[in-house]
Amino acid sequence: DNFLLGGVKSFVDRFRENEANCQILLHPVNNPQAFGIAEFVDGRVARIVEKPASPPSNLAVIGIYMFDHHVFEAVEQIKPSARGELEITDTIQYLIDKGLHVRTEVLDRYWIDTGKMDDILEANHVVLQTLTPANQGQVDERTRVYEPVILEKGARVVNSVLRGPLLIGEDTEVIDSYVAPFTSISHHCRLKGVRVGGSIILEHTSIEDIHWPIEHSLIGRYVTLRGGQAVGGSYSLTLGDHSQIEMPGA
């Protein structure tokens, strides 16, 4: 999975303008041994090497590709790999070997491979810093708000502290809680008696009366999390959709 700040529209537009047969996006990486790496000859891409022991460059192929109709010919001609699959790198190599125009572009913006929880949280951190504060919800007089904070339509905050950057989604309730920076709470959630920071909480999730801070966590959809004796420190959680956890009280 990939996260690319600003999306791909500008790259697609340039692909069409240049009338290339294929376009691949590249990004410099510090650990090229972990990626498919582009090898260049005379300024043109000649080969893509998967996870090379001796990388020919530090330009990783990030997994965003654009093709014209020649891709169908390539798919018909290539053979399954050792793992029994048709590989995208073999498809691109076929186009290169046929002398077709395979265009490369090095990214000029933030990108991250979001294959792990830490990467998703980092992407959330970056996006929240780019958003403009907005309040379409309701905040009572006892709540303290430290911008930048985004409250979407129907969000309701009661007797809480919001310390941005953070986002609270549509029709989400936050009651008697402390929401720390770099937290994104999706729509139709309910948080009551919670301290949370640096986390992502997805839609239709309910977290109530948690007696320890939740930090650096990724909590899925339709999760129920309640209770828990205060034992000191904080908790980092990774909870899948529809998880239900009720912790014993004191």
Residue 45 sits in a domain whose CATH number is: 3.90.550.10
For position 82, what pLDDT does the model report? 87
DSSP codes joined into one string, 6-50: T-SHHHHHHHHHHT-SEEEEEEE-S-GGGSEEEEEETTEEEEEEE
Residue 178 and residue 143: Cα distance in Å, rounded?
10
Within-domain flag for 83? yes
Within-domain flag for 168? yes
For position 245, what pLDDT does the model report? 92
Model pLDDT for residues 98-133, shown as the tens digit of each residue: 999 999 999 988 988 888 999 999 999 999 999 999
For position 76, what pLDDT does the model report? 95
Same domain, 161 and 89: no
Within-domain flag for 65? yes
Within-domain flag for 50? yes
Model pLDDT for residues 199-249, shown as the tens digit of each residue: 999 999 999 999 889 999 999 999 999 987 666 778 899 999 999 998 776
Same domain, 157 and 96: no
Within-domain flag for 70? yes
Amino acid 91 reads: T
**Domain count for the chain:** 2
* Residue-number span of the structural domain to which 81 is assigned: 2-111
Spatial contact of 183 and 205, defined as CB atoms under 8 Å apart: no
Within-domain flag for 195? yes
Model pLDDT for residues 16-73, shown as the tens digit of each residue: 998 899 999 999 999 999 888 999 998 899 999 888 889 999 999 998 999 999 999 9
For position 230, what pLDDT does the model report? 66
Q: Residue 176: pLDDT above 80?
A: yes
Strand partners, 150: 134, 167
Residue 68 and residue 236: Cα distance in Å, rounded?
45
Within-domain flag for 125? no
Model pLDDT for residues 83-98, shown as the tens digit of each residue: 898 889 999 999 999 9
Within-domain flag for 23? yes
Nearest one of 130, 120, 8 to 62, comparing CA atoms:
8
CATH number, domain at 232? 2.160.10.10
Same domain, 148 and 207: yes
Mean pLDDT of 164-172: 98
Mean pLDDT of 137-161: 97
> Which of the two residues, 36 and 177, has the higher pLDDT score?
177
For position 249, what pLDDT does the model report? 63
